[in-house]
Amino acid sequence: MRKAVNDINRCVACGVCAGECPREAISIYKGCYAVIDTAKCVGCGICQRACPAGSVKVEEV
């Protein structure tokens, strides 16, 4: 099973990943970093490709 994970130390909270996620599984926490709801995430990789900071990765879990 694949899920997206976010490295909050690299995240710039731009919201691009959240805007691209077709499952609405990503939100921006207090303007600081992206949070991924793993219950909604299907591991499609759209967020990973969209992230300009390279902080979002899809991994096997």
Residue 30 pLDDT: 98
Q: Are 7 and 55 in contact (CB under 8 A)?
A: yes
- Domain interval for residue 37: 2-60
Residue 5 pLDDT: 98
Residue 46 pLDDT: 98
Residue 13 pLDDT: 98
Residue 35, domain CATH: 3.30.70.20
Query: What backbone phi and psi angles, to 5 degrees, belong to 44?
Result: -70, -25
pLDDT by position in tens, the chain (length 61): 999 999 999 999 999 999 999 999 999 999 999 999 999 999 999 999 999 999 999 999 8
Q: How many domains does the chain have?
A: 1
